[in-house]
Amino acid sequence: MNEKNPQMRRDSLLRRALVPKGFRPTKVEDIEKMLRAIGQEPMTDEKLQRMLRKIEGREPIFPESDAEPPIDSSELSAEEKELVAHYRAHNKQLPPDLANKVKAMENRAAQPPPIDEPGNGG
Amino acid sequence: MPDGPEHTDLDHDLTLKLWGGDDTAKAELLHAWGVVVEKAIRKAYPALKGDDPEDVVAEGIQRFWLWRDKYDPNVASIMTMLYMFAEQVAIERRTGKLNWQRQQIRERGVDADFFERVKARPELPEPPDDAGPKQSPFQRQLAECFSKLPALQQDILQAYGDAGHYPLDATALGIELGKKYKDGSPIPGGTIRGYKSRAWETLDLCMKKKNFDLEAMGYFDE
């Protein structure tokens, strides 16, 4: 029966070997317990301001990822994704067909998200 | 008292601010729980280095903010929800899917699948190697064998482990690891899978020398 138990996957086993049990909770109650055990600690003002800038989009989050538009889309095959990453890594121009496809994808990704943002509490 | 998450006055105040879209709530979220969530992420995803844990928390809060009107205090406290969002970002970061997920959010707004995954936490029986509160001798031996693998193989195996139930795309992981190990040239998905098999063969041998037969014990690779 073990072959059906996802806990018996070697990937899961390795994670259990590398991460202490208390830090891999799956249930909401256990997450709560873990966080309460760590304990609340106020954030320094400098860090708070920096993280606020990130959350509000005034400073990049994962800057090296932002520098590079996403290429991992369901519209591209695995080979195409690798090809795009390879060309970009070597600052080479993409073949025209692929370049057009990527451009269209990037244009769509650059559009603002269609999320209803409520006002500022007023 | 009914079962459910504990709520403090801060939770109540912030819940109202979240639902009302009050921008000042962002700083309060950070001030109250930013540090604790970041500490937990560092422990839970030790492969995240440098500024990554801070960025994971920042992006988690950013996404939580987009989702805030769906927040249900009966499901989990705000602190727990922040951790769950940050954990999802950590997994995406570890598996090379961060940009893809960001693109999904930009293109489709709040991604229903993403938020379903955040909420769906499968309860699984405790596996035999994980009994007791501390690392078992078997886990300790495996960690020791793992530490002797080449760095790239360690990164690959750990990413698969960190992915958990999240589907790992070997191509996306190869692109991410190519930045670290190959000056930006992607490592093909097939090569990633090849390295993974080789790494497990090495671990199998190492564990056999310590009298643990992973296959006979029922541990399987996919």
CB-based contact A120 B142, cutoff 8 Å: no
B159 in Cβ contact with B134 (< 8 Å): no
The 10s digit of each residue's pLDDT in B84-133 is 999 999 999 999 888 888 888 877 765 556 566 656 666 677 888 998 88
Phi and psi for A9 in degrees, rounded to 5?
Answer: -65, 140
pLDDT value of residue A106: 67
A17: nearest CB among B79, B134, B142: B142
User: For residue B164, is it left (φ>0), alpha (ψ between -120 and 50) or beta?
Assistant: left
| Chain B residues close to A101, C-beta within 8 Å | none
Residue type (1 letter), B126:
E
ipTM of this complex prediction, to 2 decimal places: 0.89
Instruction: Enumerate the β-bridge partners of residue B220.
Output: A9
pLDDT at position B199 over 50: yes
A43: nearest CB among B6, B30, B174: B30
CB-based contact A121 B17, cutoff 8 Å: yes
- CB neighbours of residue B222 within 10 Å: 9
Please enumerate in sequence order all residues whose Cβ is within 8 A of that of A118, keeping only pairs 6 or more positions apart, or say none: B20, B21, B69
CB-based contact B107 A108, cutoff 8 Å: yes
- Dihedral of CA atoms B4, B8, B13, B15 in degrees, nearest 10, equals -20
Over residues B33-44, the mean pLDDT reads: 96
| C-alpha–C-alpha distance, residues B133 and B156, integer Å | 27
Interface test with A, best of B22, B30, B111, B198 (most A CBs within 10 A): B30
| Chain A residues close to B103, C-beta within 8 Å | 70, 72-73, 105, 109
* Percent above pLDDT 90 for chain A: 35
| Chain B residues close to A58, C-beta within 8 Å | none
Question: In the A/B pair of chains, how many CB contacts fall below 8 A?
Answer: 251
A104 touches chain B (CB under 8 A): no
The 10s digit of each residue's pLDDT in B184-196 is 899 999 999 999 9
